[in-house]
Amino acid sequence: MPAPTVFLVDDDPAIRYSIPVLLATANLPTECFASGEEFLSAFDSNRHGCLLLDIRMPGISGTELQQELARRQSHLPIIFMTAYADLATGVEAMKQGAADFLAKPINGAKLLAVVQDALDRNRLDRRAETVRLQFESRLLKLTSREREVLLLALSGMANKEIAQRLNTSLRTIEGHRARIYLKTDVASLLELAQKASAVGVTLAALAAAVGAAGKID
């Protein structure tokens, strides 16, 4: 995987010069953009790193760019920078998911620490997303009947009750559950639920996802 990149969006040429020089001392590659529009034209959701973003710029503002990236489901942590110590704007930006909010002139040591934290956060988020997608891909391997059995099991029904509900034998249900565990790489329903929880999927969401997947068979 390529090294993470610090994306810098600021209309001030001096900032676009000085910050990359600072980040280079920590061996952090930087790509600079003079506007939000310029950044969006080059945006690639597969790239990873973090975004250093000025709030007040001509054209698309920093907060508007934050909103657009949210619509595009970007996982880049955003560190806002501003020459105007606007506390209300900073609080709102943090509520919308910003990683941090720095006032200019930027303290070099503080910036390096904040950027490293954001890169660590992005790496962990991407790892968690990969695990989640792998888990969901295993669910998609279940047949319609296996999904049906899983939904009933998630509702708390025992194998015997499921067999009665589906008008089949207990052994058949046991076979379905064994294949469910094999395909989802778990040893029990409890472990399946724990894996779902570990990747941020609640039991209700898991049941909904399994049910939705079953509808496309």
User: How many Å apart are CA 156 and CA 159, to the nearest integer?
Assistant: 10
Under the banding of pLDDT at 50, 70 and 90, the label for residue 103 is: confident
CA distances (Å), origin 193, targets 137, 157, 202: 16, 15, 8
The per-residue pLDDT for 208 is 62
CA–CA gap between residue 116 and residue 26 (Å, rounded): 9
Average of pLDDT values for 97-114? 89
Strands 49-54, 100-103: parallel, antiparallel or unpaired by DSSP? unpaired
Structure tokens at 124: 């962990």
pLDDT band at residue 209 using 50, 70 and 90 as cut-offs: low
Confidence of residue 60 (pLDDT cuts 50, 70, 90): very high
Span 196-210, average pLDDT: 65
Distance separating alpha carbons of residues 12 and 83, to the nearest angstrom:
11
**Mean pLDDT over each residue of the chain, to the nearest integer:** 85
DSSP 78: E
The two counts, helices (H) then strands (E), for the chain are: 10, 5
At 214, the pLDDT band (50, 70, 90 cuts) reads: very low
CA 133 – CA 138 distance, rounded (Å): 9
Q: Comparing 5 with 203, which gets the higher pLDDT? A: 5
Q: Answer whether residue 92 shows pLDDT above 80.
A: no
Q: pLDDT at position 136, please? A: 80
CA dihedral 204, 207, 213, 217 (to 10 degrees): -150
Task: HSE, CB side, 13 Å, CA atoms: give it for residue 33.
Answer: 23
* Residue 104, phi then psi, degrees to nearest 5: -80, 150
- Average pLDDT score over residue span 141-153: 87
- Output the pTM of the full model: 0.66
Distances (CA, A) of 34 to 11, 40, 59, 115, 125: 5, 11, 11, 20, 27
Write the pLDDT tens digit of every residue in 29-50. 999 999 999 999 999 988 899 9
Confidence of residue 143 (pLDDT cuts 50, 70, 90): confident
Q: What are the structural domains of the chain?
A: 5-129 (3.40.50.2300), 140-215 (1.10.10.10)
Mean pLDDT calculated for residue range 176-184 = 91
Q: Where in 39-99 does DSSP place strands (E)?
A: 49-54, 78-82
